[in-house]
Amino acid sequence: MAYSSSLAAALGGVSEGQLVHWRRQPNPVLVPEYGSRPRVSYSFRDLLAIRTVARIRTQLSLQKIRKAIQNVRNLDNFEHLSNYKLVAKGNTIVWIQSEDQMVDVLKQPGQQIIATMQDILGEFVGWTGETVVPLENPKPGIRINAGVLRGYPVIDNTRVPYDTVASLVADGLDATSIRYFYPSVTDIGVKGAVALDRYVSEYPRRAA
């Protein structure tokens, strides 16, 4: 399943407007893997890349990030941005290739240095001051796994999309009634689905 711009923004720690800015040519930060027609759709790999950039953006400007990404493209047979472990270190950006091999991709492209990998899957505070939810478990009872529905948020231990359950709650169904349709959905999963749906719907206004 694909991520809408609003869901990708909320889980990525950015605003929808910033995503629009990031995909502008001629030197885009990230072009949605699933394209933009009939509407912009992001993949799970895109979401990982968005969170990577959002973490770096807490310390460095977007201009520097664009330059670093362009340098990575020049240094390597560039694939998807999510394939590269990029972190901010001081006033530069490094590409972590292995535990003992890190390369500067901003100030001195190609020079090996020492750095520490930051966890882009965990909760973090973005440069806007917003606390971005952890990616694997954004709300209690909700799980995101790349191997389940292509990384779309689902009720834990099921393949039921969170927004399906949230829609049923909005229609007036309680947890017991929802289990008539989806027996594996727990009470905490229902509450988590509603909480994530609220988080996503309110996020653009909070991060504007």
List the chain pLDDT tens, one digit each, 208 residues. Answer: 899 999 999 999 999 999 999 988 778 899 899 887 778 999 999 999 999 999 999 999 999 999 999 888 887 778 888 988 898 988 889 888 876 778 888 877 655 545 455 578 889 888 778 889 999 999 999 999 999 999 999 999 999 999 999 999 999 999 999 999 999 999 999 999 999 999 999 886 654 4
Q: What range defines the domain where residue 162 resides?
A: 136-208
pLDDT tens profile 148-198: 999 999 999 999 999 999 999 999 999 999 999 999 999 999 999 999 999
What is the model's pTM?
Answer: 0.83
Q: Which of 52, 43, 56, 41 minimizes the C-alpha distance to 6?
A: 41
Number of structural domains found in the chain: 1
Say which CATH number the domain at 142 has: 1.10.10.10
In a domain, 106, yes or no: no
Q: Where are the beta strands (DSSP E) in 55-190?
A: 85-89, 92-98, 101-104, 112-113, 124-125, 131-132, 142-143, 154-155
In a domain, 200, yes or no: yes
In a domain, 201, yes or no: yes
8-state DSSP, 145:
-
